[in-house]
Structure 1
Amino acid sequence: MTVPDGGAGAAGTGPRPATRRRAAKAARRAELLTAAARQMAERGFAGVRLEDIGGAVGVSGPAMYRHFSSKTELLDEMLLDISRRLYAGGHEVVARGGTPDETLDALIAFHIDVLVTKPDLITVQDRDLSSLTPAANHEVRRLQRRYVEDWVEVTMAAVDAGTGRLDRAEARVRVHAMFGLLNSSPRLPDFDADRLRGLLTAMAAAALHARV
């Protein structure tokens, strides 16, 4: 009798071995990316070897090459992933709608959530962008520009609602300055996480709404 192909083994007790192997490889790859972000945040891209990253999660030097062909390939994947997540998350916030002030508050909250949960990635992105391959660098910068422009549109709408006099060039300067402020948070002295979140939120809003 033929067993229907439902993704289970012959006895119908679980996923096929090949599926389990793919899941295990994906999980190990994610562990390696996390370890790489932590080490590169601490020592910089140039100060970390592929073998160091593998050693942090129990992967031997030669076995690392089954996951990544080089340290640069690993960096490319790491920064492309965080750039895509930032752009997609920000775009989703904008797409939800609401008043400009509500949307701007939601964008600030979203970015700070990424900062407090992925500080190593933010540090590496801020410092080691120049170490990407040209193709990855181009794509990361394209995603960053699109992310910034979503913020610019919302900032113009929010500030214009109160003053009617914020042009695009100034809105872009405000957004970039605000990112500089927020993205420096991984390098700040130790501080209570809840209080830091509130402080960063207030400072980001003040930077975007500044009266000049």
Structure 2
Amino acid sequence: MKTLTRKEEIISVASLLFKEKGYSAVSMRDIAQAVGMKAASLYNHISSKQEILATLILQVAKEFTTGMEAVVAENNAPLQKIQTIIEMHIDITVNYSEGLAALNNDWMHLEDKDLADFVQMRSDYEENFRQIIKQGIDAGEIQPRHPEVILFSILSTLRTLYLWYQKRGKLDVNVLKKDMVAVFLNGIVNKH
């Protein structure tokens, strides 16, 4: 496993503190203490708490953006694209749970260009997902339900998955992918 740079270690520790207490409740002194250094020394590695937050959130947002761009570029049917998106969310949840906590809970504390960039990435992501859903409805692959309801139903579950996943004791990722895709795409009713 790769050794973290001091800056990466600071960001990692800060992400845990943000997740536990919330961005607003964490000070640079708290971060320095958790890393085991003096607050003044922290500034040799990081310029501000805002830089840490932006690094965390934008890293995760870029993962989602890159993943969605790959899905959109694929020449797959809409249902296959939705399955890929669900699986991507699960992978990001497993690999970036602290960053997801910051993204979901603290994004509004971003400033200036970082905030604008995040809001644009999120908006583009949702619009791409919405268009895939509409394509699925138009192709007859998805029941003719309101696309916003479908989008909300899937994203609200996926956005809070990191909370549930931690409480479950690390359920096997492959089982999680298989079962979540099945529930989202086939529902829970046995069709005899």
Q: Name the CA distance, whole Å, in 2 between partners of 1:56 and 1:200.
A: 36
Equivalenced residue count is 181
Superposition TM-score, scaled by structure 1 size: 0.74
Alignment match of 1:45 (pick from 19, 23, 36):
23
Superposition TM-score, scaled by structure 2 size: 0.80
**Residue in 1 aligned with 2:124?**
146
Q: CA deviation digits over 1:165-194, x for unaligned, max 9?
A: 758xx3234213311111112222324522
**Residue in 2 aligned with 1:155?**
133
- Structure 2: which 5+ residue stretches go unaligned? 188-192
The answer to whether 1:201 aligns with 2:181 is yes
Task: Quote the offset at 1:75 in angstroms.
Answer: 0.8
Counterpart contact for 1:112–1:201, Cα < 8 Å: no
What's the RMSD between the two structures over aligned residues? 2.5
Q: Name the CA distance, whole Å, in 2 between partners of 1:205 and 1:64.
A: 47
Q: What does 1:44-63 align with in structure 2 at a 5 Å threshold? A: 44-63=22-41
- Structure 1: which 5+ residue stretches go unaligned? 1-23, 208-212
Which structure has the greater CA radius of gyration? Answer: 1
Q: Name the CA distance, whole Å, in 2 between partners of 1:165 and 1:201.
A: 16
**Residue in 2 aligned with 1:185?**
161
Share of identical aligned residues, percent?
A: 23
Q: CA deviation digits over 1:78-122, x for unaligned, max 9?
A: 212211221112111221322222222111111111012211211
Q: Name the CA distance, whole Å, in 2 between partners of 1:45 and 1:203.
A: 34
The answer to whether 1:101 aligns with 2:85 is no
Question: Relative to 1, partners in 2 of residues 1:172 and 1:67: Cα closer, same or farther, differing over 3 Å?
Answer: farther
Higher relative contact order (CA 8 A, sep 6+): 2
